[in-house]
Amino acid sequence: MMQESFAGYLLNAAWQAPVVALCALIVTRFGGLAPQARNRVWLGFLGIAVILPAIALDRLLPRALPVVASVPVTDAIVRADALPDASALPAAVAEPAMQLAPWSAWTMIALFAVIAALLVARLVVASLAARRLVAESRPAVLPAEVAQALEKLARAHGRAVPPVRRSFSVRSPGVVGALRPVILIPDELNPATRS
């Protein structure tokens, strides 16, 4: 039962997660939102992408009512002995719409685990590379007007001023780190290195 539930979750996620991601992309791209609002939208859609596949949509959507066609009496005469046995009907109705072989459920679980492990490994490698960039960088000396603009921007967003460091390994300015962000600038942009 648990295998079938998990397999159903994965099947639902296979088509629902891309739809949710597309909706998030449209909202953030064309919504004219500020960066903080875009971040919140992506986090909200991420939560929806995780929860939505677990919800059975057939319980939420209205069911279609059966349509009974009227048949003229002259076209069909039903004999009582031609009807199926009543004891066979509940068994046919109780059959699930889709049955999965145990190997297919385990295959989907294994595939999901491999993809999740690859994504986690990629995240770990990127995190280690970001730490290496920060460790190899040196403090940057900013002009007074640039330092003031950075402080004003940080205060406007209720953040602490992140350290600015220079590095030979980066070609353009960028922010490294999620919990403790550091602004890395190319070494040639640092005014102290030009003198």
Evaluate whether residue 79 is within a structural domain. Answer: no
- DSSP element (H, E) containing 183: strand 182-186
Q: Give me the number of domains the chain comprises.
A: 1
State how far the Cα of 108 lies from the Cα of 62, in Å rounded to an integer. 30
Question: pTM for the full model?
Answer: 0.48
Answer yes or no: is 21 within a domain: no
Does residue 47 lie in a domain region? no
Q: Is residue 78 in a domain?
A: no
Residues 21, 12: Cα–Cα separation, whole Å: 14
Give the β-pairing of 164-167 and 182-186. Answer: parallel
pLDDT per residue of the chain (195 residues) written in tens, 0 to 9: 666 777 777 778 888 888 888 988 898 888 888 878 888 888 888 888 888 888 866 565 555 555 555 555 554 555 555 555 555 554 445 565 566 677 777 887 888 889 889 988 998 998 898 889 999 999 988 889 988 998 998 888 888 888 999 998 888 888 888 778 899 999 877 655 454
Domain membership flag for residue 111: no
Has residue 27 been placed in a domain? no
Give the residue numbers spanning the domain of 166: 129-194
Q: Is residue 25 part of a domain?
A: no
